[in-house]
Structure 1
Amino acid sequence: MPVTEGGDQYSVWVGLIYIFNLIVGTGALTIPAAFARAGWGLSTISLVFLAFMSFMNATYVIETMACANAVFKWKRLQFLKRHSIQDNEKSEQTTSNPPAYADLEDPVVCGDSVPSCYYSLDKRMELGEMADLFLSKIARKMFYCTLCVYLYGDLSIYSAAVSKSLTDVVCSKVPSMTNITDWDNIPCFHASEGAFTRIDCYRMALLTFFAAMGPFVFFNVQKTKYLQLFTSGMRWLAFVIMMSMAIHLLIKHGPQGRPPAFDFTGMPTLFAACAYSFMCHHSLPGLISPIRGKSHLGLHLSLDYMLISIFYLLLAFTGAFAFANLNDLYTLNFVPTDNENIFLEIVEYFLALFPVFTLSTSFPIIAITLRNNLQSLFLDTSRLESYNFALRKLIFPIVAVVPPLLLTYFLEDISFLIEFTGFYAGAWVQYLIPTFLVVSARRHCANLLGLGVVNKYKSPFSNVSWAVFVLLWFFICIILVALNTIQKPSDRKIPYLP
């Protein structure tokens, strides 16, 4: 088994945990309210369909990555051939001394369709490197602009969400007030009048979060293995608690919620809450390249998507029927009314810290993805080791994490960034970019290697009609998001996170 770049490998199950952690974030907490508003029937169909569309584009990313590996190996083979010919001019080649490229296949002599050793997923090829290989100059510029906007936006959203969650836990509860004109300058503790405000606590939490999570960007994603496993357990525990409490209420009091089966007026809100609850495409290359045993990767990935879909549906169904009124952020439905109950008090704090558990694992992965793509934009990744240490190991990690830190330090209200990044830039990253990449990669590899060399990682949705369908779905997505955006402010339900 070839060793991937960037360190140790891990099993396919660990890789699926990474993908699960990246997909299932606090955005899942906005699904129950939108689910109830659009109706359980329409919401179920929409959620399953969105999972299918996301999975399809994930297979496009995998196929494109295999094509990029094939191009890299083909270029290496040509390089070895040229040097071998030059050596033959100096010294006669003998049968006991075969050329260095003899163990590699030649696409010219591939007759019938056979599995190709060209196509693999061993070398990590980020989306930026794939864009450099397969897209035109203008398309590459559009790609990098969109991807960087999305990733920088994600990092800003995650850091602000974690810091606000920690502030809500640490500071005293704000009394129910209808007109709070200066929320930031409210004392963090009732006893300290103006000495230590909520904005001070927020900024301290923000700096602490970056101090804890920022160093991971200097390493590879494999270094976050134990952090991923720990927070994955915390994440499952939080969701199990919410589902168990909702089921308990259903058994004890019966269904309190009466969601309709179909309510198409709630479709824009449902889509805004659910469309990017399956997003992982931007970080998929860095997560799958270290996996050992990728022969059934597509099947394993489909199981991951099925598990996440069932997970979302259980959370949404139990919440929609257990509560007569659902908060936009589902955890707010579990704030206990009896503060003397120690168990409920513990549950309250645990659920309040849910964004901290979920986003602390996603932040390093997204930051590493941004760092790698910035390197692909400004450096020649084929000779990365030739650059000096500071440029390779220090500059790009700092460039990846400092802008989100500065933005969220001075501007904690990033609701516009949530909407623009999660919806519009996210639609490009999830739908358009994988589709354009895979179509261009197929054409490029067919011309380079010939039609007889088979890509064993080829997407099952390889017919061009599927690509056309994705493009049509992209425009439908934009229309639905625009409809949600132009609703009255009192009716809009912008997800907490994309």
Structure 2
Amino acid sequence: MRRGVSSPPVDSASYSNLVGFIFIFNLIVGTGALTLPGVFAKAGWCLSLVVIILLALVSYITVTFVIEAMAGANAIKHWQSLQALRYRRNSNEDENELLSNTESETVPLTIHNAEFHYYQLTQKFELGEMATMFFNDFGRTLFYLCFIIYLYGDLSIYSAAVARSLRDVLCEHDHSNSSDISISESSSMHLLGDFKGNENRACWKEYNLSRLVMYRIILIGFTIIFGPLVIFSIQKTKYLQMLTAVFRWLAFFLMICIAIKMLCTDGAKGHPVAVNFYGIPSLFGACVYSFMCHHSLPSLVAPIKTKSMIAKILSYDYILICTFYIVLAISGVFAFEHIEDLYTLNFLPYRDTTDGFMSSFFIGIDYFLSLFPVFTLSTSYPLIAITLKNNLQTLFLDMSRYNSYSIFIRGLFPLLAVLLPFCVTYFTENLSTLVAFTGSYAGVGIQYVIPVCLVYFSRVTCSELLGNGIINQFQSPFQSNIWLALVLTWSVLSVFLVSIKLFS
């Protein structure tokens, strides 16, 4: 809906600061958190602590850039609306009145500042809309390519995580060589299956079906079930997302409590190194992926009632989330002798014959944690795929002529959105590699490069149209162009170092 220009409207769907805090928290904390314990174990706990705190800070800086760019987009939109009103008013006046009003137009626009605030966050502007407003054709193409690559990586990670979780729950496990014991046998401890390099092992002893084949069968079934949903436009997912959020927090709470319980009762079974630079690619990609929220942030910021508190809300969210990530990862790497690249696979259920309610209860917890990615990612997969389909259409089609295209052309993009992630995950189930590529390349573009470019060109555009007399109250605390240069330098250097480590 178009906003009026006379006064800031009140959004009927607005919510309080606390609700906004919770929504942003839930937006950031997702699948990436499940890969952090594994990359902490590979890169070393000390190095990982330093890197995750540093990346949290850089991510927060670029989030403030997105907020400032969104306020700039609102200002430009409001300025354009005001100019349209002035044009319509002047066009209806006679020649003498038109001359008088033309002279008044030379007065700086700051005279309207008392009754009209240009810089607002009332109207939602997605990253794609801001890219269209501030970038040229080449910049917009690069933006959509980067965003599409990220969404492809997202879908690949989701598909692999769901298929691996179901496969490892369904297949039998060889416990004879494991030094861990089950949750039902000792103080809520969990069996850790070490499946590295054992994908050709039989899924069940009675059947000649390898674990890799079972993984691919589940992947095919998952794609057949959820892939066709991309054709439709799913809009009302409020209650589904609320249920997913409850599952997410219950699972994270249980994983942290169980790991701490194991540390208190049995001591540290894991002995990770302090520093291992060869683990940097996976660590960097997972950390960038875990703090990713920039592409969805405008949708959550616009309805917050007290816009002046947004900077504080975001800072509190990042402090709490970074602390939560550290607790989750550190407790896991010291509680378990070996960490899977998807942390929930450390809580695979152990099927024993022990009777009793507590045994069944703990096994039920194991099943819930092991299948947690299946519950949550299955609900998000169609939404991400639809977003990818829409961006593919925006990049390659003239949407004003969409209905004139043939059914084949319109049906091609849903197929492309689903087919490529399926092909990638069919030949690899290595989540560490998928997260490293997605976070280190497309993630860096969305989280670092694009916000820097948006805020820079928004400042230039607003300065040209509004002048320098109007202050943007949502300006980033890191407003100097030196910060923009530092973030870009950090991005280029990080990608260069990660590429060296990754390909060597």
TM superposition score normalised by structure 2 = 0.78
Between the two proteins, what is the percent identity of the paired residues?
44
Residue 82 of structure 2 is aligned with which of 77, 82, 100?
77
Residue in 2 aligned with 1:291? 304
Q: Tell whether 2:413 aligns with 1:413.
A: no
CA distance in 2, matches of 1:112, 1:86: 21
Deviation at 1:465, TM superposition (A): 0.9
Amino acid at match of 2:125: M
SS, match of residue 276 in structure 1: helix
Amino acid at match of 2:147: L
Checking the alignment, whether the CA contact within 8 Å between 2:286 and 2:435 is kept in structure 1 is no
- Deviation per residue, 1:38-85 (Å, 9 max, x gap): 443332222111111111111111111111111111111111111111
Deviation at 1:3, TM superposition (A): 6.0
Q: How does 1:261-340 map to 2 (within 5 A)?
A: 261-337=274-350, 339-340=352-353
Amino acid at match of 2:61: M
Residue in 1 aligned with 2:466? 449
Amino acid at match of 1:326: I
Residue in 2 aligned with 1:344? 362
- CA spacing shift, 1:165–1:265, aligned 2, 3 Å: closer
Residue in 1 aligned with 2:126? 126
Deviation at 1:419, TM superposition (A): 4.6
Residue in 1 aligned with 2:184? none
Residue 247 of structure 2 is aligned with which of 217, 229, 234?
234
Checking the alignment, whether the CA contact within 8 Å between 1:18 and 1:228 is kept in structure 2 is no
CA distance in 2, matches of 1:408, 1:375: 17
Unaligned segments of structure 2, at least 5 residues: 1-7, 175-194, 354-358
- Deviation per residue, 1:351-410 (Å, 9 max, x gap): 122223443464466456546656765799xxx9xx69969xx99997765423233455
Deviation at 1:479, TM superposition (A): 2.6
Deviation at 1:332, TM superposition (A): 2.7
- Deviation per residue, 1:279-303 (Å, 9 max, x gap): 1112222332333432311111111
Residue 257 of structure 2 is aligned with which of 216, 222, 244?
244
Amino acid at match of 2:141: K
- CA spacing shift, 1:199–1:330, aligned 2, 3 Å: closer
Residue in 2 aligned with 1:474? 491
CA distance in 1, matches of 2:59, 2:312: 15
- Deviation per residue, 1:408-449 (Å, 9 max, x gap): 455523557655433212111111111011011111101110
Q: Which moved more, 1:442-451 or 1:275-284?
A: 275-284
Deviation at 1:167, TM superposition (A): 4.7
SS, match of residue 292 in structure 2: coil
Amino acid at match of 1:21: N
Deviation at 1:473, TM superposition (A): 0.8
SS, match of residue 296 in structure 1: helix
Amino acid at match of 2:366: E
Deviation at 1:109, TM superposition (A): 4.0
Residue in 2 aligned with 1:158? 158
Deviation at 1:344, TM superposition (A): 3.0
CA distance in 2, matches of 1:191, 1:269: 35
Residue in 2 aligned with 1:431? 448
CA distance in 2, matches of 1:292, 1:389: 37
CA distance in 2, matches of 1:107, 1:365: 48
SS, match of residue 480 in structure 1: helix
Checking the alignment, whether the CA contact within 8 Å between 2:156 and 2:422 is kept in structure 1 is no
CA distance in 2, matches of 1:396, 1:65: 34
Amino acid at match of 2:69: T
- CA spacing shift, 1:463–1:178, aligned 2, 3 Å: closer
Deviation at 1:236, TM superposition (A): 1.1
SS, match of residue 38 in structure 2: helix
Residue in 1 aligned with 2:172? 173
Residue in 2 aligned with 1:20? 25
Q: Which moved more, 1:119-128 or 1:37-46?
A: 37-46
Checking the alignment, whether the CA contact within 8 Å between 1:167 and 1:202 is kept in structure 2 is no
Checking the alignment, whether the CA contact within 8 Å between 2:349 and 2:370 is kept in structure 1 is no
Query: Aligned residues, how many?
Result: 461
Amino acid at match of 2:134: F
Residue in 2 aligned with 1:53? 58
- CA spacing shift, 1:437–1:111, aligned 2, 3 Å: same
CA distance in 1, matches of 2:302, 2:294: 13
Q: Tell whether 2:9 aligns with 1:2.
A: yes
Amino acid at match of 2:53: V
CA distance in 1, matches of 2:327, 2:196: 35
- CA spacing shift, 1:242–1:453, aligned 2, 3 Å: same
- CA spacing shift, 1:142–1:235, aligned 2, 3 Å: same
Residue in 2 aligned with 1:258? 271
Checking the alignment, whether the CA contact within 8 Å between 1:153 and 1:404 is kept in structure 2 is no
Amino acid at match of 2:172: K
- CA spacing shift, 1:60–1:479, aligned 2, 3 Å: same
CA distance in 2, matches of 1:345, 1:240: 17
SS, match of residue 338 in structure 2: coil
Residue in 2 aligned with 1:359? 377
Checking the alignment, whether the CA contact within 8 Å between 1:172 and 1:189 is kept in structure 2 is no
Q: Tell whether 2:224 aligns with 1:207.
A: yes
CA distance in 2, matches of 1:435, 1:481: 21
- CA spacing shift, 1:298–1:189, aligned 2, 3 Å: farther
TM superposition score normalised by structure 1 = 0.79
Amino acid at match of 1:475: V
Checking the alignment, whether the CA contact within 8 Å between 1:110 and 1:452 is kept in structure 2 is yes
Q: How does 1:36-51 map to 2 (within 5 A)?
A: 36-51=41-56
Checking the alignment, whether the CA contact within 8 Å between 1:375 and 1:396 is kept in structure 2 is no
Deviation at 1:477, TM superposition (A): 1.6
Residue in 1 aligned with 2:93? 88
- Deviation per residue, 1:103-130 (Å, 9 max, x gap): xx99824279989611122222221221
CA distance in 2, matches of 1:66, 1:401: 33
Deviation at 1:234, TM superposition (A): 0.9
Deviation at 1:24, TM superposition (A): 1.9
Unaligned segments of structure 1, at least 5 residues: 488-498
CA distance in 2, matches of 1:377, 1:37: 38
Amino acid at match of 1:271: F
Amino acid at match of 2:427: D
